């Protein structure tokens, strides 16, 4: 019986054996750099786990898993450029280490390499796999644009925010699961159910991330609490507070999020006090649990052995119970 850790290890070995070795090195070295920075390799691992629900030959899913991971890292390279981010996973970002032009061009070639790997997948349903990948890739770009729009958009609704995190974060998880299932020989209905499992889980994951940013232990979460507040990010917590608050309290909160020059500690404390007054953490937890339960219901509907589904169920439970 396989497990997620084994899938992660198998994929990590495959990734190392498929390092980009082409010239010029100025193009490929930045791509290898971002891929070597690590991460938990959860997206390729769950793609393999989804395949395993229907087929033991998990090695057949490795090219698609590689495509998902390379695409994910390509999107991080370009996101970091747009965000002018200095660090990624505690190390210099690609554009910070190699220069802006290298960041753009190496990201471009990573996207092409992702498709190149995807097309080596041995499956009679390759066309469906490519369509699923294409839809995901477009939606991730749409989500990133929505996120950037929110920075200057005067008002953002909760529905708009949930749609943004679905596109920017959740569809990549959902597509990984759908693609793994398709390659494994799943029915259209089971592949769709796994997509819904991943979509709902991805939204719940981002809501959990919003909560942890405001209320998590910095030592466990890996960064200072209140970062979203300092950066005036329109997260679910902020939008729910505006939706719940009195006119006076909403105006105070809006004023706090319109200021860039402010003592960070005081600002975080003031905003959290408003959140606590409105019971925002509890409301966010309830919304997160709503999506989480929808994800588990979708997983339960999949026609595969309960023992194999348990791998993905444990993955979902682990994400939702994390405090980092």
Q: Are 89 and 225 found together in one domain?
A: no
136 assigned to some structural domain? yes
CB atoms within 10 A of CB 15: 18
* Tokens of residue 291, six digits: 């999506």
- Rounded (10°) angle between helices 171-184 and 126-152: 180
User: Are residues 292 and 204 part of one domain?
Assistant: yes
Q: Does residue 81 form part of some domain?
A: yes
Q: For the residues of 268-299, what is the DSSP string, one character each?
A: HHHHHHHHHHTTHHHHHHHHHHHHHHHHHHHH
Instruction: Indicate whether 54 and 130 sit together in one domain.
Output: yes
**What burial letters (b/e) apply to 72-102, b meaning 16+ CB within 10 Å?**
bbbbbbbbbbeeeeeebeeeebbbbbbeeeb
CATH number for the domain that contains residue 52: 1.10.600.10
Give a yes or no: residue 265 inside a domain. yes
Cβ 210 vs Cβ 271: under 8 Å: no
In a domain, 107, yes or no: yes
Residues 195 and 306 in one domain: yes
Residue range 19-42, pLDDT digits in tens: 999 999 999 999 999 999 988 999
Tell whether 116 and 236 lie within a shared domain. Answer: no
Q: Does residue 86 fall inside a structural domain?
A: yes
In a domain, 167, yes or no: no
| Residue of 83, 313, 318, 307 lying closest to 177 (CA atoms) | 313
Q: Which of 144, 177, 207 corresponds to the end of one domain?
A: 144
**323 band by pLDDT with thresholds 50, 70 and 90:** low
Convert the pLDDT of each residue in 181-209 to its tens digit: 999 999 999 999 999 999 999 999 999 99
Does residue 127 share a domain with residue 18? yes
Helix axes 4-17, 62-83, angle to 10 degrees: 80
Q: Residues 300-306: contacts with CB within 8 Å, 24+ apart?
A: 301/193, 302/53, 302/186, 302/190, 302/193, 302/194, 302/197, 303/187, 303/189, 303/190, 304/53, 304/54, 304/186, 304/190, 305/53
Evaluate whether residue 157 is within a structural domain: no
Residue 52 contacts by C-beta under 8 Å, 6 or more apart in sequence? Answer: 2, 7, 58, 180, 184, 308, 311
Mean pLDDT confidence for 83-106: 94
Mean pLDDT in residue range 122-141: 97
Range(s) of the domain holding residue 232 = 187-324
Q: Is the pLDDT of residue 218 over 90?
A: no
Does the residue 159 lie in any domain? no
- Per the structure, the count of domains in the chain is 2
Which of 109, 144, 179 terminates a domain? The answer is: 144
């Amino acid at each position: 019986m396989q497990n997620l850790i084994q899938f992660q290890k198998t994929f990590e070995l495959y990734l190392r054996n498929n390092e980009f070795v082409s010239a010029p090195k100025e193009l490929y070295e930045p791509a290898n750099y971002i891929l070597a920075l690590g991460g938990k390799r959860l997206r390729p691992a769950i793609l393999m786990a989804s395949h395993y629900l229907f087929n033991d030959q998990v090695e057949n899913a490795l090219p698609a898993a590689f495509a998902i991971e390379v695409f994910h890292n390509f999107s991080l390279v370009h996101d970091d450029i747009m965000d002018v981010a200095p660090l990624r996973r505690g190390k210099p970002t690609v554009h910070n280490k190699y220069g802006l032009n290298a960041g753009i061009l190496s990201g471009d070639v990573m996207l092409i390499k992702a498709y190149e790997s995807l097309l080596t997948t041995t499956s009679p349903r390759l066309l469906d796999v490519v369509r699923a990948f294409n839809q995901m890739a477009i939606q991730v770009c749409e989500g990133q644009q929505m996120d950037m729009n929110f920075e200057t958009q005067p008002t953002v609704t909760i529905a708009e925010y949930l749609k943004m995190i679905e596109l920017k974060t959740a569809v990549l998880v959902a597509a990984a699961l759908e693609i793994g299932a398709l390659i494994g020989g799943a029915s259209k209905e089971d592949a769709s159910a796994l997509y819904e499992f991943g979509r709902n889980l991805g939204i719940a994951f981002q809501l959990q991330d919003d909560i942890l940013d405001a209320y998590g232990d910095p030592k466990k979460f890996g960064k200072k609490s209140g970062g979203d507040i300092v950066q005036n990010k329109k997260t679910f917590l902020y939008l729910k507070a505006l939706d719940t608050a009195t006119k006076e309290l909403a105006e105070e909160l809006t004023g706090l999020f319109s200021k860039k020059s402010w003592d960070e500690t005081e600002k975080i404390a003031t905003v959290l006090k408003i959140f606590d007054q409105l019971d925002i953490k509890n409301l966010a937890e309830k919304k997160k649990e709503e999506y989480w339960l929808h994800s588990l219901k979708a997983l339960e509907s999949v026609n595969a052995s309960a023992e194999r589904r348990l791998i993905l169920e444990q993955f979902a439970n682990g994400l939702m119970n994390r405090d980092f």
